[in-house]
Chains A and B, each alone.
Chain A
Amino acid sequence: AHASFTQDSRRNRRRDWTKLIYMTSLSPDEILLDKQTRIADAGGGMGDEDFFTVIKKSGEEVEEIDTSKDTLSPDHLKVWEDEELLDSLRGLFITGSSAEAAITGEDDQ
């Protein structure tokens, strides 16, 4: 029973991409941002006060550009100054046979 429970919770944590992509009308950005929110919540908050919705005018904003390359943000990439994070990738290279062995075994310079 325990095993089936852990398996169940794991499945919940996993996102069903096929369903998200083909069976919801969420915009791609909403799918990627709302990691936690369940689809069921989407229709929930319809109180009386929410009857009028403000239409967002796009005039003032910076135009969203159709591009295949995301803009690199130096701040976002700062995380890679961290040695531990850098070491965590070692297992993906042929020189690191397994992640643990690589971290303890090899030390460059």
Chain B
Amino acid sequence: MAQPGNVLNFSGHLHLRSRLVLSILSGKAVKIDHIRSEDKNPGLRDYEVSLLRLLERITNGTVIEISVTGTALLLKPGVIAGGPVTHDCPLSRSIGYFLEPVIMLAPFSKRPLQLTLRGITSDDRDLSVDLIRTVTLPQLQAFGVSDGLELRIRKRGSPPLGGGEVQLICPIVKELKTLNFVERGKIKRIRGISHAVRVNPQFSNRMIEAARSVLNRYIPDIYLYSDVYKGEDSGKSPGYGLSILSESTTGAMHCAEALSQPGVAPEDIALLATRALLQEVQRGGCVDSHHQTLVLLFMVLGSEDVGRCRMGEPTARTIQFLRDVKMAFGTTFKIVPAEKSDPASTELVYSCYGVGYVNANRTLS
């Protein structure tokens, strides 16, 4: 029986992933009710159940109870075990949906996690595996999670049928370093991955051309890699997309991507991705809007010192996340304008005192 103070109570189906992560990291049970209880099709979706199964497998001793109607769930967290795990993701969500919460947990496992995920490698709802590999994982290096951190894209799989496969290898750490990242620097290079499977490989080059038409004005150091997978490795459905990122002199990264839609030319997809990147760059900060929650979480878990990071305005997801963090760890952030002299600037500096989270699961060798 958990004490009342040790249960996090939430309601609604939104923010499920971050709430489960907070529960597992803080060791507090989480109770979520009213999961689509007003909906015509109430309860948990297949991908949410699949996520719970995945979390159950990378941990040891986790107890999950789901109500008969599926509209309420209780999770009592165990320890994060890690080790080799293989998981088939349902085709209703892409692999990115599952990778994001796993990346938040993996550095604190008992043994290094080697996770193989099969399913859709990129779709328009979650970060594609390309961005996770090129942007999300490098963010972890600032916190001291770096040696052997790797995401291999073995096969690509486009929606609706997927057929992709990736492997995440994540080292374990004792504790995270305190982040102090307030200089955004200037953008020195732009990189991108243009992928195409089961379509004319020329599509990939057409996307690169279109993206360059906008970006060439800024800097010469633009390298857009054309990544064409063939045969078995290209999954079961046709599709293409452009993932693009900018990197500054201080290592600040912003990213965006767009995926193929029926009846839209590859050039338009590339323009969409490029413009979305410019929008991210305009929002400013050292971390883009997709990675706010990950960076903020690791700042909370950092060593007992003040961590600081410059970012743009919080997204709706980030706002809720900050409130959930306060419930789980009692940590509040101080959020102040980054440029006090410039009223037009919307950049903010987020700072907090780390809880000094120590990986107690880690096996001593």
* Pair B333/A18 contact, Cβ less than 8 Å: yes
On whether A94 and B124 interact (CB within 8 A), knowing A74-B268, A86-B278, the answer reads no
Q: Which of A39-80 contact B (CB under 8 A)?
A: 57-59, 63-72, 74, 77, 80
Sample of 4 more A-B contacts, CB < 8 Å, known A21-B314, A72-B276: A22-B326, A72-B272, A74-B272, A80-B214
The 3 residue pairs across chains A and B that have the minimum distance between CB atoms: A28-B316, A28-B319, A80-B275
A82 to B103, CA, bound (A): 38
Interface SS, B side: mixed
A64 to B316, CA, bound (A): 13
Q: Is A5 positioned at the interface, with any CB of B under 8 Å from its CB?
A: no
Which among A59, A65, A67, A95 has the highest number of chain B CB atoms within 10 Å? A67
For A29, give the chain B residue with the smallest CB separation.
B316
A69 to B100, CA, bound (A): 12
CB contact between A18 and one of B272, B273, B335 (< 8 Å): that residue = B335
Question: What count of chain A residues pass the 8 Å CB interface test?
Answer: 37
Q: Would you give the 0/1 interface string for B337-350, flagging 1 where the beta carbon is closer than 8 Å to chain A?
A: 10000010000100
A72 to B244, CA, bound (A): 14
* Pair A14/B276 contact, Cβ less than 8 Å: no
Give chain B residues whose Cβ lies under 8 Å from the Cβ of A32: 313, 315-316, 319
26 residue pairs bridging A and B, Cβ less than 8 Å apart = A10-B343, A14-B337, A18-B334, A21-B314, A21-B333, A21-B335, A28-B316, A28-B317, A32-B313, A32-B315, A57-B38, A64-B14, A65-B125, A68-B127, A68-B290, A68-B317, A69-B126, A70-B289, A72-B256, A72-B273, A72-B276, A77-B275, A89-B282, A90-B218, A92-B281, A108-B217
Q: Is B187 positioned at the interface, with any CB of A under 8 Å from its CB?
A: yes
- Closest CB of chain B to A87's CB: distance in Å? 8
Give chain A residues whose Cβ lies under 8 Å from the Cβ of B337: 14
For A9, give the chain B residue with the smallest CB separation.
B343
Q: Is B137 positioned at the interface, with any CB of A under 8 Å from its CB?
A: no
A93 to B276, CA, bound (A): 17
For A83, give the chain B residue with the smallest CB separation.
B217
Give chain B residues whose Cβ lies under 8 Å from the Cβ of A29: 316
- Closest CB of chain A to B138's CB: distance in Å? 17
Which among B214, B290, B335 has the highest number of chain A CB atoms within 10 Å? B335
* Pair B217/A86 contact, Cβ less than 8 Å: yes
Give chain B residues whose Cβ lies under 8 Å from the Cβ of A18: 332-336
Q: Is B258 positioned at the interface, with any CB of A under 8 Å from its CB?
A: yes
A4 to B98, CA, bound (A): 51
* Pair A89/B319 contact, Cβ less than 8 Å: no
CB contact between B216 and one of A64, A89, A108 (< 8 Å): that residue = A108
Q: Would you give the 0/1 interface string for B268-293, flagging 1 where the beta carbon is closer than 8 Å to chain A?
A: 10011111101101100000011001
- Closest CB of chain B to A33's CB: distance in Å? 9
On whether A63 and B39 interact (CB within 8 A), knowing A32-B316, A80-B279, the answer reads yes
Give chain B residues whose Cβ lies under 8 Å from the Cβ of A59: 38-40
Give chain A residues whose Cβ lies under 8 Å from the Cβ of B322: 21-22
Q: Is B17 positioned at the interface, with any CB of A under 8 Å from its CB?
A: yes
Give chain A residues whose Cβ lies under 8 Å from the Cβ of B313: 17, 32
Q: Is A13 positioned at the interface, with any CB of B under 8 Å from its CB?
A: yes
On whether A92 and B279 interact (CB within 8 A), knowing A13-B343, A63-B39, A72-B272, the answer reads no
- Closest CB of chain A to B319's CB: distance in Å? 4
A92 to B319, CA, bound (A): 27
Q: Is B188 positioned at the interface, with any CB of A under 8 Å from its CB?
A: yes
* Pair B218/A89 contact, Cβ less than 8 Å: yes
A58 to B97, CA, bound (A): 24
* Pair B39/A58 contact, Cβ less than 8 Å: yes
A14 to B343, CA, bound (A): 8
On whether A94 and B214 interact (CB within 8 A), knowing A65-B125, A80-B278, A86-B278, the answer reads no
Give chain B residues whose Cβ lies under 8 Å from the Cβ of A13: 343
Which among B100, B315, B316 has the highest number of chain A CB atoms within 10 Å? B316
- Closest CB of chain A to B180's CB: distance in Å? 19
Give chain B residues whose Cβ lies under 8 Å from the Cβ of A95: 218-220
Give chain B residues whose Cβ lies under 8 Å from the Cβ of A20: 319
- Closest CB of chain A to B351's CB: distance in Å? 10
* Pair A94/B276 contact, Cβ less than 8 Å: no
* Pair B290/A69 contact, Cβ less than 8 Å: yes
